[in-house]
């Protein structure tokens, strides 16, 4: 078997392992996430703004994979809930800028930290050798992601 075939076979094995094993285990979602009264698009916008900061309406629409009209409706509801603030761009009145409100920031931070805590709980049951392997694997994955990001990774 040449290296190209071996690589393809390993990729197939990794994908298959991920699919079969993830179907065997019960998904664990932080309770905080289950209590949310947000739609999936609303949650995506909150997390987008948390990660990217102040964003144009057009950027949010692109991130949602929707039209600006649909994104505007999602943002209207988030503004109504007090989670997002909208303002005009002083440099260009046609541009609408969106940011998390104080309440939106607090919510996003709680969600982010609850996810990190679930990850920490998983890591706590691993022994040192397993933790080193996970660390090494993550270093490889993030190194490749940085390399791809420079090359236009979507």
Token pair in block for residue 115: 């996810």
pLDDT, average across residues 88-96: 79
Place of tokens 């009264």: 37
Task: Specify the CATH architecture of the domain 30-154.
Answer: Orthogonal Bundle (1.10)
pLDDT digits (tens, 9 = 90+) for 19-77: 888 778 776 666 767 778 889 999 999 999 999 999 998 899 998 899 999 999 999 99
At residue 29, the pLDDT reads 66
Measured CA to CA, the distance from residue 14 to residue 12 in angstroms comes to: 6
State yes or no: pLDDT of 84 exceeds 70.
yes
H or E segment and range at residue 116 = helix 102-124
Residue 33 · residue 114 · CB < 8 Å: yes
pLDDT, average across residues 106-116: 90
Token pair in block for residue 126: 């691993």
Angle between helices 57-64 and 40-52 (to 10 degrees): 130
Residue 26 · residue 49 · CB < 8 Å: no
Q: Which contacts qualify for 102-108: CB closer than 8 Å, 24 or more apart? A: 104/46, 104/49, 104/50, 104/78, 105/50, 107/46, 107/83, 108/46, 108/47, 108/49, 108/50
């Amino acid at each position: 078997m040449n290296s190209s075939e071996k690589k393809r076979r390993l990729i197939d094995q990794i994908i298959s392992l991920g699919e079969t094993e993830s179907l065997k285990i019960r998904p664990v979602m932080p309770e905080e996430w289950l209590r949310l009264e947000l739609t999936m698009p609303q949650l995506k916008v909150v997390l987008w703004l948390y990660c990217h900061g102040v964003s144009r309406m057009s950027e949010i629409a692109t991130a949602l994979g929707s039209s600006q009209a649909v994104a505007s409706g999602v943002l209207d509801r988030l503004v109504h809930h007090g989670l997002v603030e909208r303002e005009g761009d002083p440099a260009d009145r046609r541009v609408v800028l969106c940011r998390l409100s104080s309440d939106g920031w607090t919510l996003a931070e709680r969600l982010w930290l609850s996810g990190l805590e679930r990850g920490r709980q998983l890591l706590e049951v691993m022994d040192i050798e397993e933790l080193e392997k996970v660390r090494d694997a993550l270093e490889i994955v993030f190194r490749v992601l940085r390399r791809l990001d420079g090359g236009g990774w979507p």
